[in-house]
Amino acid sequence: MSSQTYRSTRSTGAEAFSFEETVLKGLASDGGLFIPSVIPKVDSQIIESWSNLSFQDLAFQIMRLYVKESEIPDEDLKKLIHNSYSTFRHEDVTPLNTIDEGNGLYLLELFHGPTYAFKDVALQFVGNLFEYFLQRKNQGKSDADRDVLTVVGATSGDTGSAAIYGLRGKKDVSVFILYPTGRISPIQEAQMASVLDPNVHTLSVKGTFDDCQDIVKQIFGDAEFNKDHHVGAVNSINWARILAQQTYYFYSYFQLLKKVGSDKKIRFVVPSGNFGDILAGYYAKEVGLPADKLIIATNENDILDRFLKSSKYEKGGDVKATLSPAMDILISSNFERLLWYLVRDNITKSDEKAGETINNWFAELKQTGSFTVQEEVISAAKKDFDSERVDNADTIKTIKDVYTSNTTKYVLDPHSAVGVTASYRNIAQDKAQKVENVKYISLSTAHPAKFAEAVNQSLSSIEGYSFEKEVLPEELKQLSTKELKIKLIDEANVEVVKAAIIEELQKEGK
Ligand SMILES: *Cc1c(COP(=O)(O)O)cnc(C)c1O
């Protein structure tokens, strides 16, 4: 029985938001992120009893811990989960692939959803949740009175297509994704624009990604526009995404134990940007998953790696454009959630005081570009986390090494290669220190076909290698022949974008 409620990481008072409010609001009005202040604990026998469940049944057990039955009854939650994962191409949803048994390295493939990247695992579910809550609010209402949601977002690639595939065809929801004209890959553009559902709108904006993001922020801050159109977000800080991602930590853990025996220590290695993926691993561990450690793998945008080594959370210079662009960030938004628990449990011992501390730290970050935490916070973090920073040269080398040493010629995408590089560094350390019985689950966050440039840079000198034949799936090949629906916005201006949104909503009859 769950009695779960949610609060904001920056709140200094008592708060109890429902799951529905948490999901539909996305971000708390004080600027903080929603969290369950009590993380549910499950005893080890019950966790063991989950080891033979299907992905969907396991998702149900985990989500049930965080969502009250009075908010979503069992049957409805089951249906939401089944619909969300019926769009995946693999029967395991997130299969575990053995890539180097001798070294105890396994790859958790998270890219079998409709857009070939890990964000589908969460956004397929979030799209269905939005529709579910809206349908319930709108029951028995006439067309004029219905609550509708206008989701507006900016993308530099992956999030946009995963959001579009999560929301296509959903009743009472329209989605508008802005991207900078000519600055995303043709595959990414075609993935978004080939979705012809009337409620999906891709806006190609003449400008940069920052221009797009600024316009989105201005639209969110526009009270009048909000009142008329109920603007919503599906960005990486929505709690439902963290919730949905917990399933694959449990699922892959059980799959690996079946292969290697239960006396092994299992570590997860996670290519990280906004810290959403790996944070789900932290919740899974707190719930009771007996995993050993979570290893944060960053690219050259390494705020998390620097923080664990220095206690200082610091923006640093400008964001670096790397071969793993979905991890190119200055600040890891979801990290605030972890900090809250570390502070509450180790320093303040109170929810309200933890909110006050987080508030002060993030005000300091805004003013000075950094804040420094107590030694106790770092040592608590290190009980669960380690980190590795991986540069472009190592990313390229790993893609090549794995392809040439693996008999099945496995091709990694550059994000997954950051994780695999970090895994091999840990494996080498274990060997040097004669640590045995450790196995690694490295998370693979995208299909290599989505990042042709980095993959070809790594492999094109190898005789016989062919991107078309070995990497590109038939479905993505066909994208180049599909009809595209793109609305060109020839000026990066919020008024022009708002007018375009209103025009499209009118066409939809909203
Ligand atoms: C979003 C993304 C990541 C980073 O995940 P976070 O939750 O932001 O840490 C890694 N790889 C790919 C391919 C992504 O799309």
* Domain boundaries, given as residue ranges, for the chain: 96-114+240-459
CA distance 338 to 509: 43
pLDDT along the chain (510 residues), means of 10: 85 94 88 94 97 98 96 98 97 97 97 96 95 93 86 86 95 94 88 97 92 88 89 84 98 97 94 96 98 97 95 90 90 94 97 97 94 97 98 98 90 98 98 96 96 95 94 93 95 96 92
Which atom belonging to ligand 1 lies closest to the Cα atom of 162?
Answer: 15
Q: Check if 113 has its Cβ closer than 6 Å to any atom of ligand 1.
A: no
User: Measuring CA to CA, how many Å separate 368 from each of 308, 315, 354, 360?
Assistant: 19, 10, 21, 12
- End-to-end, the C-alpha distance of the chain in Å comes to 39
Distance 502 CA to ligand 1 centre (A): 32
Active-site residue, selected from the candidate residues 68, 119, 285, 450: 119
At residue 263, φ and ψ (nearest 5 deg) are -90, 15
Distance 417 CA to ligand 1 centre (A): 13
- Segments in 203-301 forming alpha helices (H): 209-220, 223-229, 239-260, 276-287
CA distance 118 to 109: 8
Which residue's C-alpha comes closest to atom 7 of ligand 1?
A: 276
Distance 78 CA to ligand 1 centre (A): 27
Q: Which residues are bridge partners to 296 per DSSP?
A: 270, 387
For the purposes of burial, counting CB atoms within 10 Å of the CB of 82, is it exposed (0-12), middle (13-18) or buried (19 or more)? middle
Which tokens belong to 235? 């960005």
Which residue's C-alpha comes closest to atom 8 of ligand 1?
A: 274
Which atom belonging to ligand 1 lies closest to the Cα atom of 272?
Answer: 9
Count the residues in the chain: 510
Q: Check if 117 has its Cβ closer than 6 Å to any atom of ligand 1.
A: yes
Which residue in 250, 243, 415, 274 sits closest to 336, CA to CA? 274
CA distance 280 to 506: 39
At residue 214, φ and ψ (nearest 5 deg) are -60, -45
Q: Check if 158 has its Cβ closer than 6 Å to any atom of ligand 1.
A: yes
pLDDT at 239: 95
Task: Collect all residues with Cβ–Cβ distance below 8 Å to 265 and sequence separation of at least 6.
Answer: 292, 437, 438, 439
User: What's the topology of domain 96-114+240-459?
Assistant: Rossmann fold (3.40.50)
- Reduced to 3 states (helix: H, G, I; strand: E, B; else coil), residue 122 is helix
pLDDT at 157: 72
Which residue's C-alpha comes closest to atom 14 of ligand 1?
A: 326
458: Cα separation from own chain's centroid: 26
Task: Collect all residues with Cβ–Cβ distance below 8 Å to 469 and sequence separation of at least 6.
Answer: none
Q: Check if 274 has its Cβ closer than 6 Å to any atom of ligand 1.
A: yes
Which atom belonging to ligand 1 lies closest to the Cα atom of 275?
Answer: 9
Distance 216 CA to ligand 1 centre (A): 21
Side-chain half-sphere CA neighbours of 255 within 13 A: 22
- Reduced to 3 states (helix: H, G, I; strand: E, B; else coil), residue 25 is helix
Q: Check if 298 has its Cβ closer than 6 Å to any atom of ligand 1.
A: no
Distance 208 CA to ligand 1 centre (A): 21
Cβ distance 115 to 162 under 8 Å?
yes
Q: Check if 163 has its Cβ closer than 6 Å to any atom of ligand 1.
A: no
Cβ distance 355 to 8 under 8 Å?
yes
pLDDT at 29: 85
Q: Check if 172 has its Cβ closer than 6 Å to any atom of ligand 1.
A: no
Task: Collect all residues with Cβ–Cβ distance below 8 Å to 475 and sequence separation of at least 6.
Answer: none
Which residue in 118, 146, 149, 136 sits closest to 18, CA to CA? 136
Distance 416 CA to ligand 1 centre (A): 10
CA distance 25 to 238: 8
107: Cα separation from own chain's centroid: 17
Q: Check if 202 has its Cβ closer than 6 Å to any atom of ligand 1.
A: no
Cβ distance 283 to 39 under 8 Å?
yes
Distance 445 CA to ligand 1 centre (A): 7
Cβ distance 153 to 159 under 8 Å?
yes
CA distance 313 to 370: 5
What is the per-residue burial (b if ≥16 Cβ within 10 Å, else e) of 182-219? Answer: eebeebbbbbbbbbeeebbbbbbbebebebbbebbeeb
- Reduced to 3 states (helix: H, G, I; strand: E, B; else coil), residue 235 is coil
Cβ distance 130 to 230 under 8 Å?
no
78: Cα separation from own chain's centroid: 22
pLDDT at 1: 46
Q: Check if 242 has its Cβ closer than 6 Å to any atom of ligand 1.
A: no
Tell me whether residue 315 is one of the annotated catalytic residues.
no
